[in-house]
Amino acid sequence: MLNDPLFIIAALAAFGVLVILMIGLGGFATGGDFNRKHANRLMRYRIIAQALAVILIVAFAWLRGRGGN
């Protein structure tokens, strides 16, 4: 599984979601100017990254279930 490129891409996408979420939570916790300027943009980026990660994970599971790779 670790040598499957789709798995690696899906794992990186999930890690990207985590990074965006942590940046957003850090900005929310500290408040201030950064949070006012970037909170909504980070939320949109997280939702897009999360949708991409879910699509990649489902594609990996579907291909794995079919016996591909």
2 HSE (CA, 13 A, CB side): 0
pTM for this one? 0.82
Average of per-residue pLDDT across 54-63: 94
pLDDT digits (tens, 9 = 90+) for 36-58: 998 999 999 999 999 999 999 99
pLDDT digits (tens, 9 = 90+) for 19-40: 999 999 999 999 889 889 989 9
What is the distance between the alpha carbons of residues 53 and 9, in angstroms, rounded to a whole number? 9
pLDDT above 70 (res 68): no
